[in-house]
Structure formats: C-alpha cells, structure tokens
Amino acid sequence: MKYNTILLLIIPFLIYGCETVTYENNLSSKNKIEPDILNSEFKIQPDSTRIKIGILLPLSGENSQIGGSLLKAAKLSLNKTKNRNIQLFIKDTENSNTNIISSYYDLINEEVDIILGPLFTKNIKIISPVSEDENTLMITFSNNSEIKNESTFISGLTPEDEIREAINYAMSKGGKKFGLIFPNNEYGLRSKKLIQNLVLEKNGEISEFVFYNSEKPDFYAVSKKIADYEQRKLKLEKKLEELKNTNTVFAKDKYKKLKNQDTMGELEFDSLFIGAENIKHISMLASILPYYDVDPKKVLYIGNSLWANNVALKEPALEKGIFTNFSKKKYGNFELEYSEAFAATPHRIAYLAFDLVGLISNLQKKNEKINVSNITASNGFIGTNGLFRFRSNGSIQRSLSIFQIKNQNPIEIKKANLNF
C-alpha cells in the first residue's frame, strides 16, 4: 500500500514536463501577449543554458490558417512561461522564394537546439533524411507514424492510439467479431493490419472488411457489401418460398413474420469500426448502414475523435456508439487563454505547439538538455489534453478516454489513464 501511495505522489511531479500544468485561474492581464513575444524577435537573456527553437510552419498559402494558429499557440506558451532564455526562429514552409531544405538549413545555421515542425508529411519526408545527418532533434506536428525515426518525432494524436484504445475497450465488453470500413489508402491499410493484430491477440476475428474509394465513395455499395445484404436477402426469399409451399400453422406464422423483414440471418460481426476520414463520410455511412440491416441496436458502432462533432452526435444511427477522444478533464484553460489573447478560436491541433514549447521551456528551467533522453521520460508529460509521452523510436503515446453517445451527448464511460 505504501508503494502505491508513493507512486501517486511522484508521477505528477515527473510528468510536470509541460508548463501547461501550472495554469492560473486568473485570466486577466496575465494572458495578454507581450509585444516582443508577438513579434518573435525579442531579446533573450545572455545565459549559457538558453535554448533556440526553430519552427517550420505553413504561414502563407492555403494552409496559413493552420500554421498561423500553431505559431500563435507557441508564442502564447512562451509568454506564459516568462522564459527569457528561449528564442524562436520561424520559417515559412510555403514561401515561394525558398524551398523546405534551404529553410531547414537556415535553422541549422542558426544553431537551433530543436526544430518544431513541419506540419505535413510531404515536407517531413524531404527533411527527415538530412535531419538524421545533422543530428538535430525535430518534433513534427504530424500524426503519421510512418515518418518517425530516432531524430524525427511525431506529436499528433495518431490513428493507432485511437484504434488501440477503442478495440481493446470493445473486446473488454464482449466484442469478438469485427467488421471494418476504411478508405483504400495508406491509413486504411495500416489500420486494418493493426486491428487484425489486436483482435487476433485476444482470440477475436475480422469477419468482414470493406475498403472504399475516398475520392468517389459509394456508401450504398459499401453498406450492402459489409452487410452481405444480397446473400442474406436471397436467403430470405428462398425461405419465404419454402414456407409458402408448406401447409402448416407454424409455416404460415413464420411466413407472416419473415415477410416484413428485408434479410434473413445474423451479421457476421458484433462490432463495426467505421474508419471514415471526415465527418461527412461518417454521417453518410451511419445513415445508410441501418437501411441494409446493420442494426445499431445489435451491432456496436465504433469510431474515433472525429465523432466529437455535432453532426455525428446528432446522427440517430450512432446513438449508443462509442469513440475515443481526449478526456473531458482539461489541464488549464488553453482555448480560453488563446481566445482572449488573439480574439480567435485556436485550430484543433494548435495545442501541440502550446504543449511542446511549454515542455521545452520547463526542461530549460531545470537546466536539462533538450535531447532524446530527456523528452522520452518514461512517465511522460501532462499537456493541455492529458498525459502523453514520446518513445525513443520517434512515436508518441497519448492517454485517451472512451465516450458513448447517449441522447446526442458524449458521455465519458472510461476515463483516460493518469499514468503509463
């Protein structure tokens, strides 16, 4: 019992790696961004422990809104830490006058200690090989686990984390046979492989799976296929014909009951993972599936954090369905502070920059080096949305909750773990 008590006391200190934990409730003048930090070219204190952070973001072009929100979040975090021993060096990855490699080397020439970014896989794949040669740690804003390595880390919420949490929960509640619907792309292929391994480990099975064209999806065809609708309908028709030619009271009663059905026979799965990549596709699939006898009252619909959206929450077929997301418990008031500082709503991934700058600042204040060893602390860190930790292979693990849709509201039915 003593061991458990000590562990609970130690863990919060160890995962105090993000300054995001030390929030103040008073959000008055403390949240106003200081001009020098807003302009990013502020003077730092002469200190041998100072840290230079390079930032690679799309600050022009069609993705400038995302990049701009991430940059504002980084500055907000730096302002919050009041750490004058950190300097930001910012490069626009979409600047037509430079290319991504030259922007990267500009940061290397500034002798930055760490690079945050880029955002998109296409840019990361270009930089990653040279970053290994330069031996400069880079934490990207991506969630693509395929581009990670020992010097290129990812920080986004990965599909793998969401899938693992959802499938394990479904199986803990009796799910054994799974149907899968995913787009026919890299994400879909990786997801199917992961679920297959998870399910087989616990003596379950993948009973049905359908890949669809994400560019031109035909969700009627997808729903018919996952439900084996044509075969089940044919089975019903044969049974009705058989009963029609049987002159018994039982046969006549059975005929009356079956005549009102569309199909006959049970589905091959008790749980269905809907792996659509956007809320529009999720909503379309959910509304069509019951029409082809994939009854949400009999089958557990499973999804990811995209379901934390009013469109999904209000879809009748998703009632009682489950999905993964960050815990309702927030560590601080990032969204409120951002809104007060910039009179705008942060992009949904802006918290990544806020947490990472906070983590780096905290390490600097403790005179700890910004290296792989220190950012891969086994106990992890507490960020805006809860517990996370980096692994030495460049991947990230985030603690997630399970939600169930009840009366069009997300109800947290399994809370995120507080330790790894």
Q: Is residue 378 part of a domain?
A: yes
Residues 132 and 177 grouped into a single domain = no
Q: What angle do CA 119, 66, 347 make, to 5 degrees?
A: 115
Q: Is residue 258 part of a domain?
A: no
Residues 318 and 365 grouped into a single domain = no
Dist. CA 115–CA 126, nearest whole Å: 15
Residues 315 and 337 grouped into a single domain = no
> What pLDDT is stored for residue 322 in this prediction?
98
CA distances from 114 to 93, 146, 153, 161 (A): 17, 21, 11, 25
Most confident of 48-52, 125-129, 397-401: 397-401
Q: Is residue 407 part of a domain?
A: no
Q: What is the mean pLDDT of residues 245-250?
A: 77
Residues 190 and 289 grouped into a single domain = yes
Dist. CA 114–CA 91, nearest whole Å: 13
Last residue in a domain, options 296, 325, 354: 325
Sort strands 51-57 and 114-116 into parallel, antiparallel or unpaired.
parallel
> What pLDDT is stored for residue 25 in this prediction?
25
Tokens 């500009």, residue located: 106
More reliable by pLDDT, 290 or 38: 290
Q: Is residue 247 part of a domain?
A: no
Could you tell me if 382 and 331 are in contact, meaning their C-beta atoms sit under 8 angstroms apart? Answer: yes
Residues 291 and 279 grouped into a single domain = yes
**Under DSSP, is residue 194 helix (H, G, I), strand (E, B) or coil?**
helix
Residues 151 and 163 grouped into a single domain = no
Q: In 131-176, where do the E strands start and end? A: 137-139, 152-153
Q: Is residue 300 part of a domain?
A: yes
Could you tell me if 56 and 91 are in contact, meaning their C-beta atoms sit under 8 angstroms apart? Answer: yes
Residues 132 and 13 grouped into a single domain = yes
Q: Which domain does 277 fall in, by range?
A: 159-228+267-325
Q: Is residue 90 part of a domain?
A: yes
Residues 311 and 340 grouped into a single domain = no
Residues 134 and 213 grouped into a single domain = no
Could you tell me if 240 and 211 are in contact, meaning their C-beta atoms sit under 8 angstroms apart? Answer: no
More reliable by pLDDT, 16 or 113: 113
Dist. CA 100–CA 225, nearest whole Å: 44
Dist. CA 268–CA 290, nearest whole Å: 15
What pTM did the predictor assign?
0.83
Residues 346 and 319 grouped into a single domain = no
Q: What angle do CA 242, 245, 249 make, to 5 degrees?
A: 100
Residues 144 and 91 grouped into a single domain = yes
Q: Is residue 403 part of a domain?
A: no
What confidence tens digit (pLDDT) does each residue in 305-330 have? 999 999 999 999 999 999 999 998 88
Is the per-residue pLDDT at 46 higher than 60?
Answer: no
Residues 167 and 306 grouped into a single domain = yes
Q: Is residue 188 part of a domain?
A: yes
Question: Domain holding 98: CATH number?
Answer: 3.40.50.2300
The total domain count for the chain is: 2
> What pLDDT is stored for residue 12 in this prediction?
30
